[in-house]
Amino acid sequence: MTSHIKSEDTCPSGSTSVECSLSGFELLNSSLLNKGSAFLLEERSAFNLTGLLPPAVNSLHEQVDRAYKQLHFFKTPLSKSDFCTSMRVQNKVLYYRLVRDHIKELLPIVYTPTEGDAIIAYSSRFRKPEGCFLDINDPDGIDDRLSPFGDSRDIDYIVISDSEGILGIGDQGVGGVRICVAKGSLMTLCGGLHPGKVLPVVLDVGTNNKKLIDDELYMGNRFARVRGKRYDEFVEKVMTSLHKRFPYAVIHFEDFGVSTARPVLERYRRRYACFNDDIQGTGVVAMASMSAALEVTERKLSEAQVLIFGAGSAGLGIADQIVNHMVSHGVSREQAHAHIHCVDRFGLILDGMQDVSSPAQMVYCDRSVDWEGIDSKNLVEIVRKIRPTVLIGCSTQPGAFTKAVVKEMYKYNKRPIIFPLSNPTRLCEVRPEDAMEWTGYNALVATGSPFAPVNGHTISENNNCVAFPGIGLGAVLGRCEFISDKMISAAVDELAGMSPAKFDSKAGLLPDLEAIEEISARIATAVILEALKEGVVGVEGENSPLGVQVKVPRDFDACLAWVRSQMWKPEYSTLVRV
């Protein structure tokens, strides 16, 4: 963040007027208030800008046209990403308008897959810091480091990462701050949160990435990742400090490592309004796509066999969501577990197995099948034995879904459901065009990164960015005390209900990204209404968990209209001098 404005200076929609005490260079350097060539003549005069700008006064639309042309002077995705970053730190309204107007072209630039390359190159391409840096060597300085971002109601949403499991490219040390910035900016772009009220936070706890440690330009701590008690105590101090300073903020965990993501979530999910995007966000999107695909194939959720390849944060998060969903649709938890099979680096997770990447995987160990004489490390043999309805990849192993694997799926399913979810694009378990060709164009495919349509079939981007903005927005607007499993399940049902596949199976399993604000608003509404049922919304005085008054309409359509009205839009406000 390059400048900070107080909550009372902002308005939810980003329109109407804003009181401003800055002028001259200070105003031009405030990314939240700067309008560049769109400052009106009377504003230029009132804020001492006349000599700092060329005479033309542009509309936002004209500025977007110019910026879009400038963007195309750059030929590589990474240089386009640099351009977008610099626009974000200069003029937030223009940045969000530009990306919104070209969302399908620019999301892959400002988010995965290009963002992964930008994170790898963080220290070498660094220009201007964004976000807050919390250092494990300075646990007593946490609050001082947070203080430039304000207090109390100044922050609505915090994206936090310790950078150990960034996007599929592993440990990225301090450069992981960029995933917090990127996910935070999606909260504005897709979830309508005011850009001044979203705080990206990176925990620099060291890195085990030798390339970074050996890089003379690397800007983070050059020691091995701190683990165990010191790490836990630091995270505890961070969480209590964040909550104390910003008691109304929802906390979004992103890209923690496989051994910390789940324990950290479990430790805090009942204490604060928080969720883990890789576990719960990914689970929501995958479950919604699966639901839509099952409807197309006229199969029941309660009969589906699901094979998850790569049982880390995302894989197990999807497994949890499928179980929750089956349970909420009348299947017992034990039966639901028997429908899920997980493969990790040591093969299929079997009962009594010693080699596992994390203890959490044992929850999904296979008890139901006799594996005698079968190679439980061979994916073709596993598919032959289990005959899965759905195959999901979260393994970071490119090409793992070979022709033999896909063809084996096709033997047992007229319309095999195949979700290669690993990011970035190069790590995808199977390319959609291959999966489609090997199944006579009958597979129902959704991917983690964006892909072009195949033979008229839309390949939905099964990325958590379709879900977390709505979940986050709902939790923020509801001032929720915490985020329950039922609130997450409500998000699944709402998202699945928006699938265009029930009308046309070629149209994709998820709604089009062009409608992302509406998708987020609907998910947020479902989350709030479920939270109301559970009594965790900060409403109506005395009983309000957070003591904040929020008046939420109980009817879906009225609540949706209220949610929409609260969403920030990239439009310039009129500045009023104070």
Ligand X SMILES: NC(=O)C1=CN([C@@H]2O[C@H](COP(=O)(O)OP(=O)(O)OC[C@H]3O[C@@H](n4cnc5c(N)ncnc54)[C@H](O)[C@@H]3O)[C@@H](O)[C@H]2O)C=CC1
Binding residues for (S)-malate, by number, are: 423, 463
Fill in the DSSP letter of residue 542.
G
Site string for ligand X, 255-294 (x = CB under 6 A): ---x-------------------x---x--x---------
Annotated binding site for a divalent metal cation: 254-255, 278
When asked if residue 460 is in the footprint of ligand CC(=O)C(=O)O (CB under 6 A), the reply is: no
Minimum distance between the CB of residue 466 and Mg ion, rounded to whole angstroms?
13
Cis before 450 (ω within 30): no
When asked if residue 289 is in the footprint of ligand CC(=O)C(=O)O (CB under 6 A), the reply is: no
When asked if residue 162 is in the footprint of ligand CC(=O)C(=O)O (CB under 6 A), the reply is: no
Select from 135, 154, 162, 277 the one that contacts ligand CC(=O)C(=O)O (CB under 6 A): 277
Catalytic residue among 80, 183, 197, 385: 183
Q: Which residue has the tokens 């195959």?
A: 391
CA distances from 193 to 5, 86, 96, 315, 534 (A): 14, 20, 12, 28, 24
- Cα–Cα–Cα angle for 130, 236, 246, nearest 5°? 50
Give, as ranges, the residues between 164 and 203 that touch ligand CC(=O)C(=O)O (CB under 6 A). 167-168
183 is a catalytic site residue: yes
Q: Which is nearer to ligand CC(=O)C(=O)O, 14 or 257 (CB)?
A: 257
Encoded tokens for 88: 């974000």
Site string for ligand X, 374-413 (x = CB under 6 A): --------------------xxxx----------------
Report the C-alpha gap between 366 and 375 in whole angstroms. 14
Rounded to the nearest 10 degrees, the angle between the axes of helix 468-477 and helix 516-534 is 50
When asked if residue 444 is in the footprint of ligand CC(=O)C(=O)O (CB under 6 A), the reply is: no
Q: Which is nearer to ligand X, 172 or 313 (CB)?
A: 313
189 binds, among ligand CC(=O)C(=O)O, Mg ion, ligand X, none (CB under 5 to 8 A by kind): none
Work out the burial of residue 104: count CB atoms within 10 Å of its CB; fewer than 13 is exposed, 13-18 middle, 19 or more buried: exposed
Give, as ranges, the residues between 365 and 404 that touch ligand CC(=O)C(=O)O (CB under 6 A). none
End-to-end Cα separation, the chain, in angstroms: 23
> Contact at 8 Å (CB) between 351 and 338?
no
Report the C-alpha gap between 494 and 422 in whole angstroms. 24
412 is a catalytic site residue: no
Q: In b/e form, how buried is each residue of 509-532, taking b as 16+ CB within 10 angstroms?
A: bbbbbeebbebbbbbbbbbbbbbb
When asked if residue 315 is in the footprint of ligand X (CB under 6 A), the reply is: yes
Report the C-alpha gap between 33 and 92 in whole angstroms. 8
Residue nearest to ligand X (CB): 312
Per DSSP (E only), the strands in 182-299 are 198-204, 250-253, 274-276
User: Which residues are identified as catalytic?
Assistant: 111, 183
Please give the residue ranges that form the binding site for ligand X (CB under 6 A).
165, 167-168, 258, 278, 282, 285, 309-315, 343-345, 357, 394-397, 421-423, 427, 448, 462-464
